[in-house]
Amino acid sequence: MKTRRYVLLLGSSLDTPQALDDARAALAMHGLLEVASTRVEGPSINPADARRFHNQAVALATGLPREALGATLKQIETALGRTPQPAQCVIDIDLACECDAHGIVLWRDDAKLGHPLFVDLMQNVLDQLRGTALA
């Protein structure tokens, strides 16, 4: 089975970052979590949204092709309590890019990377895979 590497963006509007921990644990059942960015907490990227979010990016090495991973991410979100149109975003897991073992991007979803925060989180993970992250 071919191993693929993906950078995933995790987000939650709950008061604590526990949902990020729960998401990482669920993702680990589908592959190897190789690296993670630092967690950040701050206002929504949408100025009309008053919620605050915890965000993080992770690199997942898995045998799942991109299409199957997308379905798996939705299943994990549902299992962790995400519902359509919630007052709170329990968990959001987005596929940002696919990369090789050296952090070279093979494919990216620019629609998920429309804000500098998400680009920075993804870049942090890619730098770690490349061995170029700042200490």
- All structural domains of the chain, each given as residue ranges with its CATH number in brackets, are 4-130 (3.30.70.560)
pLDDT at 134: 58
Answer yes or no: is pLDDT of 131 > 70.
Answer: yes
Tell me the pLDDT band of 133, cut-offs 50, 70 and 90.
low
Quick one: tokens of 87? 């007052």
Report the run of H or E that residue 22 belongs to, with start and end. Answer: helix 18-28
pLDDT-based confidence at residue 103 (cuts at 50, 70, 90): very high
Q: How far apart are CA 40 and CA 56, in angstroms?
A: 7
Report whether pLDDT(135) > 60: no
pLDDT of residue 85: 77
User: pLDDT at residue 9 above 70?
Assistant: yes
Query: What mean pLDDT is reported for the chain?
Result: 94
- Contact in structure between 5 and 99 (CB atoms under 8 Å): yes
pLDDT band at 15 (very low <50, low <70, confident <90, very high): very high
